[in-house]
Amino acid sequence: MIEIEKLRIDFGGAPVVDGVSLAVAPGERVGLIGESGSGKSLTALAVLGLLPPGARAAGRVAIDGTDVLGLPERRLARLRGDRVAMVFQEPMTALDPVMRVGRQLALVSSKARARELLELVGLPADTYRAYPHQLSGGQRQRIVLAIALARDPAVLICDEPTTALDVRVQARVLDLIDGLAAERGAGLLFVSHDLAVVSNLCSRVLVMRAGRVVESGPVAEVLAAPRHEYTAALLAASDLEART
Ligand SMILES: Nc1ncnc2c1ncn2[C@@H]1O[C@H](COP(=O)(O)OP(=O)(O)OP(=O)(O)O)[C@@H](O)[C@H]1O
């Protein structure tokens, strides 16, 4: 369970995340949308204690009731992976380029589990011995997903996990995230600028603009009758028709 209350992040100047509150209960799927620079990624990173240097965070961020803001790295590291795991936009940043991917999986689980995880994300067994550069973007993102799921986190955070992939591969990776999260009853915090993706995957959505949440609610309601003109503009710019 993730709880964020009145989160405020700045880099010494004006806040770039301002008064954001949201919660992800076990099995719940929450989408966080908004244009580039609206504060989505920083909000997600704050949950894992992975804010960039110079960032100052205030408010409350809790994982299963444990406050993570200001928690020592040693304790944060334990929560990461076990309770909450993250899949980033660019898989190469999450993988070690000079280590075979099977070994990277085994490091967070075991050799036998690594082989199971490969199968779980739909990769052939011989992928175990591949280096990241020998895989396609979609395959690399499957590995990152396998690493994220290795310790059965209660909540999976995905930050634009398919933006770098072509459309067909994108759909398959999203299906995989959808299926695996459902199978495990994992909660999902899904960061995206893509309203269509969020409406397929999530039951609730929060819309961010310039660091603030400007609208939130059940996806169907927000899309059927956006109350904020910014949400209406996002909707108009997406492939979705207003669902009236
Ligand atoms: N390392 C940093 N140093 C200074 N300012 C930063 C830093 N990282 C982010 N910011 C500021 O915080 C704002 C929010 O960034 P964030 O990455 O959360 O946006 P986002 O909504 O995830 O955008 P995108 O969709 O492009 O990833 C940015 O507009 C930027 O001004």
pLDDT at 99: 97
Atom 14 (ligand 1): residue with closest C-alpha?
Answer: 39
Report, as an integer, the average pLDDT of 218-235: 88
Q: Read out DSSP for 173-187?
A: HHHHHHHHHHHHT-E
Query: Per-residue pLDDT tens for 25-79?
Result: 989 999 999 988 999 999 999 999 999 999 999 999 999 999 999 899 899 988 8
Query: Per-residue pLDDT tens for 105-156?
Result: 999 999 999 999 999 999 999 999 999 999 999 999 999 999 999 988 999 9
pLDDT at 39: 97
* Domain coordinates in residue numbering, the chain: 1-83+156-162+189-243
The complex's ipTM works out to 0.95
pLDDT at 244: 44
Among 7, 8, 16, the mutation site with the greatest number of ligand 1 atoms within 8 A of its Cβ is 16
- Reading the block at residue 149, the tokens are 């799921």
pLDDT at 176: 92
Give residue ranges with CB within 6 A of ligand 1.
Answer: 11, 16, 34, 36-42, 52, 54, 193
Q: How far apart are CA 101 and CA 99, in angstroms?
A: 6
Q: What are phi and psi of 233, to 5 degrees?
A: -70, -40
| CATH fold for the domain made of 1-83+156-162+189-243 | Rossmann fold (3.40.50)
Please determine, for residue 170, whether its predicted confidence score (pLDDT) is greater than 80. yes
CA distances from 164 to 14, 90, 167, 235 (A): 30, 7, 9, 22
Among 40, 47, 160, 212, the mutation site with the greatest number of ligand 1 atoms within 8 A of its Cβ is 40
Of how many residues is the chain composed?
A: 244
Q: Read out DSSP for 149-168?
A: HTT--SEEEEESTTTTS-HH
Please determine, for residue 88, whether its predicted confidence score (pLDDT) is greater than 70. yes
Is the backbone of residue 176 left (phi > 0), alpha (psi -120 to 50) or beta? alpha
